[in-house]
Structure 1
């Protein structure tokens, strides 16, 4: 394979790459994108299993693999509202080394990114996105698409207008998320030492389930929404605007959350119970 190679894909096709892939850029409309990071040493692989409408352009240039519609630029991607692009559909699966730098942009499509230890950037105009087992830094920006993060241990930054954020088994060094109306649900299996969690929304609901024991300084508030608190060490105060403050454990981490009209809940994960059973 030469330093620069390019293909036009208008029908189902599979490509394997003998040269190393250090960066991946995918920009599609409609359908599904699935990116998998592996450490088995196998060659990077692209499979387009379904495609309707305009052909996809696939290019390899100096370690960067790009799979995209040419009229979907990465710059200004979230402002793309050309409805003609929504009449396209492609089902794309890419396997790359785990440490690859990944950029995925989708319009009216779903995306799944798993097993990546390099940095991941996700942009979506609509459509759900799932992030699984990512250990590198993650940034997700959507207009209305929901994002679900499972077992993500890298720093997570999320920005949306109306999309929801759900974090399952989270335990990274930090989460920073802001939205206008999207809900935020975080289920944390641990809070890393000196973790920094900051959540802000205008009208969305915020629910956070913390491990027991937890280690964080807590300051969360809502202007007109309801509050619920499952921790005796935290104090609920205020008659109009309500806030929950206090310190859990040694207070090594920081948890801040704010919503204007949405409800706010701090929940407790069940404490680990030693049943005395032996594992054979």
Structure 2
């Protein structure tokens, strides 16, 4: 099994096929971009503390620390182990399946067609133009998803979720104290289920929209921009129900003390294009210890 120990800024190119990518870093940044290039490229532009270990076996490329396992990742709270940092950029074939774990680091994943799984103890995550299923789990980091067309799953303790131009067939999001802001533009029926304890929920739908809607809050406020829906409850608990268009989609939102807002996008409103992410494909090396 090829293995490299990366202790200083380095560039690597992997000519053998890569079908899966696993990355786990502490502090710093990881930037992953899917490309049409059949080879994978790695650049470590900054690194402090323990070295990263890079391995490639049976189509799986791993860039990680030896003491930072994927299993139980969200419970890795050894503060002494946080004394490290790395800035990592990867360009991989677009169909690669991605697993990313970050502790105090930012992560950007763009242009990937395979499944994407992100776990974060802290640090924000940006997901751009992903067409496969996406799962993001965070303790306190925020997640922004732009132009994601696959199924989206999100779970957080206090991190926020922002979805821009979401057009996937389903969204499932659960948070304790984080807020959720979803701007949806589905091309067909969409199944959305959002659950929060104290976080606020805001959903913007196109007009006209097709969805069966039910939103509940135990003690928060509800605001609604659609005439076809009705709000029940004067004091305490509030419930918003009704059908928009044919009702082919499904929207469920529940919060205990947070507020819920259902917003309307005017017909024909132009949305800005999301910023393009960039990758670094340059450079190769055949050294094993770097």
Alignment of 1:209 onto 2:204? yes
2:77 aligned residue (81, 84, 92): 81
Cα RMSD, aligned residues only: 1.1
Give the corresponding residue for 1:238: 233
Provide the residue aligned with 1:29 in structure 2: 26
Q: Does 1:112 align with 2:108?
A: yes
Q: Identify the residue that residue 215 of structure 2 maps to in structure 1.
A: 220
Q: Matches of residues 253-272 of structure 1 in structure 2 within 5 Å?
A: 253-272=249-268
Confirm or deny that 1:70 pairs with 2:66.
Answer: yes
The within-5 A match list for 1:115-130 is: 115-130=111-126
Give structure 2 stretches of 5+ with no counterpart.
271-290
Extract structure 1 runs of 4+ deviating beyond 6 A: none
User: Match of 1:277?
Assistant: none
Q: Secondary structure in 2 aligned to 1:85?
A: helix
Distance 2:219 2:229 in 1: 20
SS at match of 2:132: coil
Whether 1:14 and 2:14 are equivalent positions in the alignment is no
How far off is 1:221 after superposition? 1.1
Counterpart check, 1:198 vs 2:200: no
Distance 1:191 1:217, change over 3 A: farther
User: 2 CA distance for matches of 1:75 and 1:273?
Assistant: 44
Distance 1:42 1:13 in 2: 21
> In the TM superposition, what whole-angstrom CA distance separates every residue of 1:87-114 from its partner, at most 9, and x where no partner exists?
1010000110111010000000000000
Report the counterpart of residue 283 of structure 2 in structure 1.
Answer: none
Higher relative CO (Cα under 8 Å, sequence separation at least 6) belongs to 2
SS of structure 2 residue aligned to 1:125: strand
Q: What is the TM-score when the length of structure 2 is the normalising length?
A: 0.91
Matches of 1:183 and 1:192, distance apart in 2: 26
Calculate the TM-score normalised by the size of structure 1.
0.94
Matches within 5 A, 1:44-59: 44-59=40-55
1:272, distance to aligned residue in structure 2 (A): 1.5
Task: Please give the per-residue CA displacement for 1:196-240, whole angstroms capped at 9, x wherever unaligned.
Answer: 100000000000000111111000111111111000001111122
Q: Which residue of 2 is the match for residue 5 of structure 1?
A: 2
Find the aligned partners of 2:81 and 2:115 in 1 and give their Cα distance: 27
**CA separation in 2, counterparts of 1:43 and 1:27?**
21
Give the Å deviation of 1:270. Answer: 1.3
Partner of 1:144: 140
